[in-house]
Amino acid sequence: MPQFQKNQVHAVIFIYLFATIFQITQVRGQLPVFTQFSQNQLNINPSFAGYFDEDIKVNALYRSQAYSKLVTSTFTNASFQVRPYMDFIPENDVLGFGVNAYSHKTLSVYSHNALSATMSYSKGLDYAATQTLAIGFQGRYNSKRVDYTQLLFPNQFDIIGYTPNLPNNEPIQVINANFLDLNAGLLYSAVGENEAFTGGFSLYNVNQISSDKAKLASRDGLTYNYHIGYSRYMSEYSQVFFGGLHSSSLKQGATSIVGAVQFMPDYARFIGFDVGGIYVLNNSFSPFVNLNMNLVRASFTYNVPISPNISYVQQTNAFEIGIQLLFSRPTENNTIAKRHMSCFK
């Protein structure tokens, strides 16, 4: 059996297992992840720290959510990834390091800031490294704040209206929590001449397994992530991509399915654009476009809510914008090697 036909068999197995996970996991809500999870790989699997073709990779992403024209939540993410010591490790292996910063704010009530450091090591499974297996570890420092004094409660209203001097009867007015998360993941990839496949699994907040309700109120709890991706060149100037991400935590889950088509009129310099959509089960559909300009990628996504729990009367909307920068040492391979489209690379 040819090598990549074996890889296709592996892909089918991964897809079957992934679909099974979809069926047996109860989906109750969307976890706090970006719709364009392609731009924040270190938030879904530490093994992605070295999963790119260049030497240095920089990502930045901004998300804004609004209800009835009032911006309620903003999300900001920035990451820096590097593949050092390429001349000192085995030819088919990759050592990757990454630093990731994340910020989430909801009005003046809730804020979550995080800074993480990540290391991964990828091992080639054959002589040409067409198949690889990577393992990654991450330490993340979190700072959370919940300010109940910024909320309005029914008992603070009297016959003349809202009176801030009335107590809200909450036992804790302000919660400040600072803690460290430990995260780990595995990533398998297979690359052929015209197609590529990735499949991975990760555990986040490994050390947050306490059943103490007071701690769980300010911490995320153990989170499982499963993801797959498959891309195939249809011609020298176009390719297609399909992928999926499932996250589950504390009996809640979110599943995202993505499909996209890439058009590359200037293949030699990798200049073109991607058009696709991301469907979050029972939540939203998000069309997106990426502009590829050789070593620069810009992306824009708009969320269309479809959940029956989201009122259209409120005119809900959200959008994401992102940019990706890639830096490489000048070699011939940077311009002639095929770049497989992926929501992770």
What pLDDT sits at residue 19? 41
The whole-angstrom distance between residue 282's C-alpha and the CA centroid of its chain comes to: 19
In this predicted structure, which of 18-27, 85-94, 237-246 has the lowest mean pLDDT? 18-27
Confidence of residue 82 (pLDDT cuts 50, 70, 90): very high
CATH H-level, domain 3-336: superfamily: monomeric porin ompg (2.40.160.40)
Does residue 161 carry a pLDDT above 70? no
What pLDDT sits at residue 214? 60
Long-range CB contacts (within 8 A, 24+) of 282-289: 282/27, 282/306, 282/307, 283/29, 283/30, 283/254, 283/307, 284/30, 284/35, 284/318, 286/35, 286/36, 286/320, 288/35, 288/36, 288/260, 288/320
How many alpha carbons lie under 13 Å from residue 311 in its C-beta half-sphere?
Answer: 4
Confidence of residue 341 (pLDDT cuts 50, 70, 90): confident
Span 325-338, average pLDDT: 58
Look at 117 and 109; give whichever has higher pLDDT: 117
What pLDDT sits at residue 47? 95
**Residues in the chain, overall count:** 345
Span 101-111, average pLDDT: 86
The proportion of the chain whose per-residue pLDDT surpasses 70, expressed as a percent, equals 70
Could you report the per-residue pLDDT of 172-198, keeping only the tens digit for each?
566 788 889 999 999 999 998 889 999
Alpha carbons 35 and 285: distance in angstroms, whole number? 9
What pLDDT sits at residue 239? 93
Span 332-339, average pLDDT: 52
What pLDDT sits at residue 18? 43
Look at 167 and 282; give whichever has higher pLDDT: 282
Cβ neighbours of residue 211 under 8 Å, at least 6 residues apart?
none
Could you tell me if 184 and 48 are in contact, meaning their C-beta atoms sit under 8 angstroms apart? no
Does residue 171 carry a pLDDT above 50? yes
In this predicted structure, which of 141-150, 158-167, 187-196, 283-292 has the lowest mean pLDDT? 158-167
In this predicted structure, which of 14-23, 225-234, 261-270, 293-302 has the lowest mean pLDDT? 14-23
What pTM was computed for the model? 0.80
Alpha carbons 117 and 79: distance in angstroms, whole number? 10
What's the angle, vertex CA 267, arms to CA 266 and CA 273, rounded to 5? 70
Span 88-110, average pLDDT: 90
What pLDDT sits at residue 12? 45
Could you report the per-residue pLDDT of 193-248, keeping only the tens digit for each?
889 999 999 999 888 765 566 665 667 778 899 999 999 999 989 999 999 999 88
Alpha carbons 81 and 100: distance in angstroms, whole number? 9
Nearest of 45, 104, 47 to residue 224 by alpha carbon? 45
How many alpha carbons lie under 13 Å from residue 271 in its C-beta half-sphere?
Answer: 5
Strand partners, 195: 232
User: What distances in angstroms separate CA 196 from CA 40, 93, 189, 193, one per listed residue?
Assistant: 20, 18, 7, 8
What pLDDT sits at residue 71? 67
The owner of tokens 């311009």 is 335
Could you report the per-residue pLDDT of 90-100, keeping only the tens digit for each?
988 999 999 99
What pLDDT sits at residue 30? 36
**Residue 72, exposed/middle/buried by CB under 10 A (0-12, 13-18, 19+)?**
middle
The owner of tokens 């499932």 is 246
